[in-house]
Amino acid sequence: MSTRVELDTSGFMNSMMKQLQALDADIKSVTEKALKETHAIITAKAEEAAQNSNLPAGGKYSTGKMLQSLYRDGKVVWTGTVAAVDVGFSIRNGGLPSLFMIYGTPKYMKNQKMYDAFKGKATLDEVRTVQEEIFYDEVRRLK
């Protein structure tokens, strides 16, 4: 599954951004740091979920291409006030099976670890907490 995690610096974090602007913080670098940390969290969980022991038939039929297609660079891309980083598996480079593992098929159940790595409440809460902490640390550092 290929997806993109975005952080809109004009929306839900508006009050935090105003605080950072008032303190002359480098908002771009703080946002990029938060997204890179998000990428690291999701990538680690996805890599663990893609190990042979978590695959159907214990990975007996795995070629390893899916694990190789995992986005590892964590490059942040800006589009206006929205920053984004690619997470997950590159569909074009062998990550197509990840879709079937995340959502399941009529014949096979979903890989719960894989699902949780991208859409699980615990992962989303962890990402939110880490991002908030990075922004609050920057505010505390500049005060």
Answer yes or no: are the C-beta atoms of 78 and 10 closer than 8 Å: no
Query: What local confidence, expressed as pLDDT, does residue 38 receive?
Result: 94
Query: What local confidence, expressed as pLDDT, does residue 21 receive?
Result: 76
* SS3 per-residue string spanning 50-64: CCHHHCHHHHCCCCC
Answer yes or no: are the C-beta atoms of 74 and 40 closer than 8 Å: yes
Smallest Cα–Cα separation from 63: which of 102, 106, 22, 94? Answer: 94
- What is the mean pLDDT of each successive set of 10 residues along the chain, which is 143 residues long? 65 70 82 94 93 78 86 91 90 90 88 92 93 88 82
Query: What local confidence, expressed as pLDDT, does residue 85 receive?
Result: 94
Query: What local confidence, expressed as pLDDT, does residue 92 receive?
Result: 92
Pairing assessment for the beta strands 76-79 and 82-88 based on DSSP bridges: antiparallel
* pTM for the full predicted model: 0.86
